[in-house]
Amino acid sequence: MKDKKIQDIARKLLKEKRVDVVIGFEKGTLPLSATPCFIKNPDEADRLIWNSFCGNNLANYLPKSKDKIGIVAKGCDSRSIVVLIQENQIKREQLYIIGIPCEGMTDKNNVLHDYCLICEHKNPVIYDVLVGEKVKENKAQRHPESLRDTKWQKFEDFEKKSSSDKWKYLESELSKCIRCNACRNACPTCYCKECFIDQEKPRWVGTTNNLSDIIFFHLGRIFHQAGRCTDCGACVRACPMNIDLRQFTQKITKDGKTLFNYETGLDIDVKPPFTTFKEDDTQDFIK
**Closest among 51, 45, 46 to 31, alpha carbons compared:** 51
DSSP 42: G
Binding flag, residue 93, another protein (CB under 8 A)? no
Three-class DSSP category at 30: coil
d(CA 85, CA 22): 18
Binding flag, residue 223, another protein (CB under 8 A)? yes
Interacting residues with another protein between 175 and 214 (CB under 8 A)? 196, 204, 206, 210, 212-213
Binding flag, residue 148, another protein (CB under 8 A)? no
Phi-psi region of 126 (alpha: psi -120 to 50; beta: other; left: phi over 0): beta
* Count of positions on this chain that bind another protein (CB under 8 A): 40
**Which of residues 121 and 218 has its CB atom nearest to another protein in the complex?**
218
d(CA 242, CA 96): 34
Number of Cβ within a 10 Å radius of residue 125: 19
- Burial class of residue 111 in the structure, from the number of CB atoms within 10 Å of its CB (0-12 exposed, 13-18 middle, 19+ buried): exposed
**Which of residues 29 and 162 has its CB atom nearest to another protein in the complex?**
162
Binding flag, residue 141, another protein (CB under 8 A)? no
Binding flag, residue 114, another protein (CB under 8 A)? no
CB of 193 to another protein, least distance (A): 18
Binding flag, residue 156, another protein (CB under 8 A)? no
Binding flag, residue 261, another protein (CB under 8 A)? no
Binding site for another protein (CB under 8 A): 158-159, 163-170, 196, 204, 206, 210, 212-213, 215-216, 219-220, 222-223, 226, 248, 251-252, 255-256, 259-260, 273-274, 277, 279, 281-283, 285-287
